[in-house]
């Protein structure tokens, strides 16, 4: 949450009945020395990247009296070029689409394929915004539980696709908040099943759209394939990406989609006019001008993740070693048996470290920071676990 008046909705305003009592989405924004709660890349753009942004934006500023290219064709070519190099995806500009962060990409997908009478299917635990996209577009949200190790329960997912006849199947790789990857063979099984699946309330022959959210995919281990390589094979596959995470561009708000030209045309129907500003397009192009520099810390953050996971497994809470969910992202979900995770969160906050209370009960999540931030995190967590244990001992 941010701001002190988030819940001060006057009673005389005609807020939609289904929104009464709802709260704005958002991780806590607190002024603390170490913020490890929103999965950002902790390393800012280099001076060379900043200068490139300045140059691109300066050129765009000369024409700010005019609307931007609403089809953002230069940027779409940059998406194509990047995905070809990063993932080996063979795409064309009519198979990619940009928006203000992957959040807008997802909302546009729900606007295009969801709606009254339609169902979206996800696998829980997963990104907490999905049910809000469903709510905002009057789409029914249904979930299939993941297995205990947070991998996909493929059989139950396939059964739900048959029984629920969803318009959308939402998958995440790596999954947020667990970091769990989605094996390509499981994705292909779901895609194949959706070739013959029905969509409730739609015309005969309509197939569910399979959405793969790859917001954190650049942090995967080398050699792991991306779902973007399947876009040319499956016309009902849509793969969401973002520049916010690995690209260290969270403040720029740039997300994009790889999908068939037909899906992209559906997105164009629901998009707002000139939805990507000229300044946003310029900043994104500058980012792609400097791809190597923008992604220069990804390998190090991957190493930091692996080292932190190993360290966390050596820690104990109330005599039991901490669990760490295997992750292919820049964050780790850890704990597994915290009987009062809020207490540990508060103890961390006292020590100037902000992490995230998210996911199943008993777990916390931390994203990877700089080397110095992770040093502070380790010290703070060690102290916080002991403080929480002492508090429980006093209660007992």
For residue 305, being part of any structural domain is answered with: yes
> How confident is the model at residue 392, as a pLDDT?
80
Q: What is the DSSP letter of 319?
A: T
| Domain total of the chain | 2
**Mean pLDDT, range 219-232, rounded to an integer:** 96
Mean pLDDT of the chain: 95
Residue 1 binned pLDDT confidence (cut-offs 50, 70, 90): very low
Same domain, 53 and 30: no
39 shares its domain with 54: no
* Residue 2 scores a pLDDT above 60: no
- 168 and 34 inside one domain: no
Q: How far apart are CA 117 and CA 147, in angstroms?
A: 29
Boundary of a domain, candidates 264, 294, 324 = 294
My answer on whether 208 and 318 are in the same domain is no
pLDDT of residue 9: 82
Cβ-contact 87, 228 below 8 angstroms:
yes
Tokens of 385: 């676990």
Number of neighbours of residue 114 by Cβ within 10 angstroms: 24
Asked whether the predicted pLDDT for residue 106 surpasses 80, the reply is yes
The answer to whether residues 316 and 239 belong to one domain is no
Mean pLDDT of 324-348: 96
Are both 58 and 110 inside the same structural domain? yes
Are 100 and 37 contained in the same domain? no
Q: Examine the pLDDT at 298 and tell me if it is beyond 90.
A: yes
**Would you place residue 202 in the very low, low, confident or very high pLDDT band (cuts 50, 70, 90)?**
very high
Task: Assess whether 39 and 58 both reside in one domain.
Answer: no
Does 175 share its domain with 96? yes
269 & 209 share domain: yes
Say if 227 falls within a structural domain: yes
CATH number where 99 lies: 3.40.640.10
pLDDT of residue 30: 83
Average pLDDT over residues 192-213: 96
Of 269, 294, 319, the one marking the end of a domain is 294
User: Is residue 1 a part of any domain in this protein?
Assistant: no
Domain harbouring 350, CATH code: 3.90.1150.10
User: Buried b vs exposed e over 57-72: b needs ≥16 C-beta within 10 Å?
Assistant: beebeeeeeeebeeeb
Domain residues for 118? 47-294
Give CA angle at 254 (248, 256), nearest 5°.
115
């Amino acid at each position: 949450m941010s701001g002190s008046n988030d819940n001060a909705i006057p009673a005389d305003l005609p807020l939609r009945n289904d929104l009464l009592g709802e709260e704005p989405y958002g991780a806590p924004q607190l002024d603390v020395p170490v913020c490890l709660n929103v999965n950002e890349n902790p390393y800012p753009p280099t001076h060379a990247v900043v200068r490139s942004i300045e140059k691109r934006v300066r050129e765009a500023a000369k024409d700010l009296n005019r609307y931007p290219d609403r089809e953002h064709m230069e940027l779409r070519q940059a998406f194509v070029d990047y995905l070809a190099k990063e993932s080996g995806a063979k795409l064309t500009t009519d198979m990619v689409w940009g928006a203000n962060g992957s959040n807008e990409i997802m909302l546009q997908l729900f606007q295009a394929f969801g709606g009254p009478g339609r169902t979206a299917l996800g696998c829980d635990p997963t990104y907490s915004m999905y049910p809000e996209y469903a709510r905002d577009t009057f789409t029914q949200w249904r979930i299939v539980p993941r297995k205990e190790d947070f991998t996909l329960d493929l059989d139950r997912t396939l059964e739900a696709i048959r029984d629920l006849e969803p318009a959308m199947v939402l998958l995440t790789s790596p999954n947020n908040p667990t970091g769990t990857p989605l094996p390509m063979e499981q994705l292909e099984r779901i895609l194949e099943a959706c070739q013959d699946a029905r969509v409730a309330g739609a015309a005969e022959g309509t197939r569910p759209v399979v959405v793969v959210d790859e917001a954190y995919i650049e942090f995967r281990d080398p050699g792991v394939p991306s779902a973007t390589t399947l876009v040319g094979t499956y016309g009902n596959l849509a793969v969401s990406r973002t520049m916010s995470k690995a690209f260290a561009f969270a403040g720029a708000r740039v997300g994009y989609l790889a999908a068939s030209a037909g899906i992209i045309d559906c997105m164009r129907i629901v998009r707002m006019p000139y939805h990507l500003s000229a300044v946003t397009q310029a900043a994104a192009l500058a980012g792609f001008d400097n791809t190597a520099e923008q992604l220069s810390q990804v390998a190090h953050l991957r190493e930091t993740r692996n080292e932190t996971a190993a360290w966390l497994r050596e820690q104990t809470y109330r005599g039991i070693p901490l669990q760490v969910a295997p992750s292919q992202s820049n964050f780790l979900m850890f704990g597994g048996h915290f009987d009062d995770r809020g207490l540990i969160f508060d103890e961390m906050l006292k020590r100037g470290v902000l992490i995230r209370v998210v996911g199943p009960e008993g777990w916390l999540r931390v994203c990877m920071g700089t080397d110095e931030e992770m040093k502070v995190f380790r010290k703070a967590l060690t102290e916080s676990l002991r403080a929480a244990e002492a508090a429980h001992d006093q209660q007992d």
